[in-house]
């Protein structure tokens, strides 16, 4: 039975009247439509209300909007895209149509995105309430309506053609094709606002420019050669120090942590030889190593790294890699 036929049967059983031949054009006036198993043509539509769940335990579900991003910011449930990932964010409304209270919590609905090569990416976090994005675990009174959001990692590139939503096992499933319906992200790693590429599309990050990598915003503050002591040691004879300067900001509403373990810096000389890094990020204004929390909303932490390089070096290439996502940006050096 198609969704249209199911909707018609609902109207007949509830009001004893045959449905009108011309459906209403306003979603708010459309009767809730039962979800269905995977039948051709029975996909869910953004902005349309559906009824999901076992008989007598149904809830009304409306997918309001969807987007993808590098990260998702919430006080207790922030996420950052890992290697070959992007974050899918679904905004939706839930209403209780029953005459008794109904529960709403992390396990009420199931959400699964299916990649073009049929790999499943399942939601396993919390349903958050909007606008504060706090965790929801409550009873919904009859007719009560709440705005919600969920976020979870999915595949990094390719169209989002199949997102399944269900309430309980062995119950009807809604399938959404979000092609052309996703709100676009803004990221240095996305050429179209939909795909999150593994490598940046910018040839290099210029001085003063910022890039989003995982939960961090990283600003490149330039470079310099120096013969001054760093951490109490002058460069060896025939060498000098190359100093790369970067600032770090927390982009998500949950404390991040910054140390040498989260980023890799790389410098290559003009012949292609990679120079060793001492795996230390120092504060820009001192020789103290950075090893601390980054609190959301606070000022950037300004840092620097240094390499001992030949005194004759005049040209080089440099890059910065986020360890967990393995996304890399080049640092402009000329």
Domain-embedded: residue 140: yes
Model pTM greater than 0.85?
Answer: no
Residues 170 and 62 in one domain: yes
Residues 274 and 150 in one domain: no
Residues 173 and 34 in one domain: yes
Domain-embedded: residue 204: no
Whole-angstrom Cα distance, residue 126 to residue 106? Answer: 5
Range of the domain at 19: 3-183
Residues 9 and 153 in one domain: yes
Domain-embedded: residue 136: yes
Residues 244 and 174 in one domain: no
Residues 138 and 280 in one domain: no
Whole-angstrom Cα distance, residue 84 to residue 333? Answer: 28
Q: Which CA distances in Å does 309 have to 63, 318, 322?
A: 56, 13, 23
Residue 29: predicted pLDDT: 40
DSSP, collapsed to helix, strand or coil, labels residue 8 as: helix
- Non-local (6+) Cβ contacts of 14 within 8 A are none
- Can you give the CATH number for the domain in which 258 is found? 2.60.40.1240
Whole-angstrom Cα distance, residue 274 to residue 317? Answer: 9
What's the domain count of the chain? 2
Domain-embedded: residue 278: yes
Domain-embedded: residue 196: no
What the block records as the tokens of 221 is 């503050």
Residues 177 and 255 in one domain: no
Q: Which CA distances in Å does 119 have to 162, 180, 266?
A: 11, 21, 34
Residue 34: predicted pLDDT: 56
Residues 13 and 145 in one domain: yes
Residues 25 and 146 in one domain: yes
- Consecutive 10-residue averages of pLDDT for the chain (334 residues): 35 41 41 47 83 92 97 92 96 97 96 96 96 95 98 97 90 93 94 87 84 94 97 97 97 92 95 94 97 93 98 95 93 90
Residues 23 and 149 in one domain: yes
How crowded is residue 47: how many other Cβ atoms within 10 Å of its Cβ?
14
């Amino acid at each position: 039975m198609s969704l249209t036929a199911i909707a018609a049967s609902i109207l007949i059983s509830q009001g004893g009247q045959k449905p009108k031949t011309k459906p209403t054009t306003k979603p708010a006036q459309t009767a809730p439509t039962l979800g269905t198993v995977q039948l051709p043509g029975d996909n869910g539509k953004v902005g349309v209300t559906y009824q999901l769940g076992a008989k007598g335990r149904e809830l009304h579900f409306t997918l309001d909007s969807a987007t993808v991003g590098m990260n998702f910011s919430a006080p207790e449930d922030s996420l950052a895209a890992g290697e070959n990932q992007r974050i899918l964010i679904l905004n939706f409304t839930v209403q209780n149509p029953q005459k008794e209270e109904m529960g709403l919590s992390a396990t009420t609905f199931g959400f699964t995105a299916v990649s073009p090569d049929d790999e499943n990416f399942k939601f396993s976090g919390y349903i958050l309430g909007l606008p504060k994005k706090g965790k929801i675990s409550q009873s919904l009174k009859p007719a009560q309506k709440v705005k919600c959001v969920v976020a979870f990692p999915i595949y990094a590139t390719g169209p989002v053609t199949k997102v399944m939503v269900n309430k309980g096992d062995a119950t009807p499933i809604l399938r959404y094709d979000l092609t052309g319906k996703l709100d676009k992200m803004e990221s240095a790693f996305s050429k179209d606002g939909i795909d999150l590429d593994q490598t940046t599309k910018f040839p290099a990050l210029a001085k003063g420019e910022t890039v989003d990598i995982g939960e961090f915003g990283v600003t490149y503050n330039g470079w310099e050669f120096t013969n001054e002591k760093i951490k109490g040691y002058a460069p060896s004879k025939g060498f000098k120090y190359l100093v790369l300067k970067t600032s770090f900001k927390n982009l998500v509403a949950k404390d991040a942590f910054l140390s040498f373990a989260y980023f890799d810096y790389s410098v290559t000389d003009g012949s292609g030889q990679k120079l060793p890094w001492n795996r230390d990020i120092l504060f820009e204004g001192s020789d103290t190593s950075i090893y601390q929390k980054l609190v959301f909303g606070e000022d950037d932490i300004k840092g620097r790294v240094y390499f001992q390089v030949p005194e004759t070096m005049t040209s080089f290439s440099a890059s910065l890699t986020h360890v967990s996502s393995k996304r890399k940006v080049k640092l402009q050096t000329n």
